[in-house]
Amino acid sequence: MRLTILTPVVGALFLNASAVQAAFTTESCLAAKLTAAGNFRKCRDGQRARLLQSKPADVAKCSTKFQDKIANLSEKASKAGIACRYGDNGDGTVTDYDTGLQWEQKNGSGGGVNLANPHDVDNVYDWSSDSANTAMSGTVFTDFLTRLNNCSFAPGFVLNFAGFAFHCDWRLPTLGDLATIVDESQGFCGGGSGACIDPIFGPTAAAFTWSSTTDTDDAHDAWGVFFGDGVLIDNPKVDAITNHVRAVRGGL
C-alpha cells in the first residue's frame, strides 16, 4: 500500500521539478538579474546613507551579494542551456544585465565610412587633435558622441529633442567597460573568424576599438581592445591615427 500511495507522489515531484526547469527561460533569467541589480542599488544606497550619518556600514557586502546572485543565475542558465547575459532593447541598443551597462549596436557593415550615421561599423575616429595630442579633442568626442547626445533643452519644455535611444549621456567606454564584452567563445577567439564579441552587438570590426582610458605611463596613448583577438592594447592619440568606437552609458 505504501508503494501504491508514494509512487504517484514521487512522480508528481519529478513532474513539478521538470515544470520548474522548463519555466526557467532567458526572459525569466534576465528578469531575475534585473531584480538583483535593483536590490543591489537599494542595498548600496542604504549603506551609503549610514556612512553619511557616521554609522557603521558595509558597502562591499552589497556588491558581494549581487555578484554571487549573478553567478548563480548564470550557472543555472548554463545548465539549462539558455542565454542569460544580454538583452536586445529593440532601439539599437543592448543591455548587459551583468554590469547594468547599455551599449550601442552597430550597423551598415561593408558600405564604407558614413560619418552621417554614427552607428556605421565602418566609421573610424581620432582620439585627440590638440597640439599636444593628449586631450579629448578628437572626432570621437566632437563628432561621434556629439551626434549621439544631440539633446536640447528649453524653458517650459522637459526635452525638445532626445538623443540616441532617448538618452543624452552616451560616453566612450573605459578600458574596463570594453573588457567586459570581449567574448572568447566568438570569432577568432572561438576558433572561427570575425570579432571576439557576441553577435547581439551587431557587426563588429575585428580591429582596435578606442576606450576613454589614458595610458598612465604615457598621456599620448589611450587604451583599447583589439576585437580580432580580444587583446587589450594601447594606441597613440595623434590625429593621424583613427580607430573604431562603440558608445556606452549607465552601469551599476
Backbone angle region of 165, left / alpha / beta, with phi > 0 → left and psi within -120 to 50 → alpha: left
Q: Within this chain, do residues 77 and 126 fall inside the same structural domain, yes or no?
A: no
Do 146 and 191 fall into the same domain? Answer: yes
- Residues 216 and 98 both lie in one domain: yes
Q: Which of 209, 208, 237, 202 is nearest to 222 (CA)?
A: 237
pLDDT, tens digit, 9 for 90 and up, residues 92-103: 999 999 999 999
Statement to judge: residues 19 and 122 lie in one domain: no
Residue 209 has a pLDDT of 98
- Do 217 and 103 lie in one domain? The reply is yes
Residue 107 and residue 79 in one domain: no
For 103-122, the pLDDT digits (tens) are 999 999 788 999 999 999 99
Same domain, 139 and 236: yes
**Cell matching residue 191:** 576558433
pLDDT at 20 over 50: no
Structural domain ending residue among the three candidates 28, 62, 84: 84
- How many domains, the chain? 2
Query: pLDDT for 47-86, tens place per residue?
Result: 999 999 999 999 999 999 999 999 999 999 999 999 999 9
Last residue of a domain, one of 63, 84, 105: 84
Cα 120 to Cα 21, 109, 169, 203, distances in angstroms: 40, 7, 20, 9
Contacts for 29 with CB less than 8 Å, ≥ 6 apart: 73, 76, 77, 82, 84
Distances (CA, A) of 240 to 126, 129, 130, 218: 7, 9, 12, 18
239: buried, middle or exposed (CB in 10 Å: 19+, 13-18, 0-12)? middle
Q: Are residues 122 and 21 in the same domain?
A: no
Please tell me whether residues 116 and 152 are part of one structural domain: yes
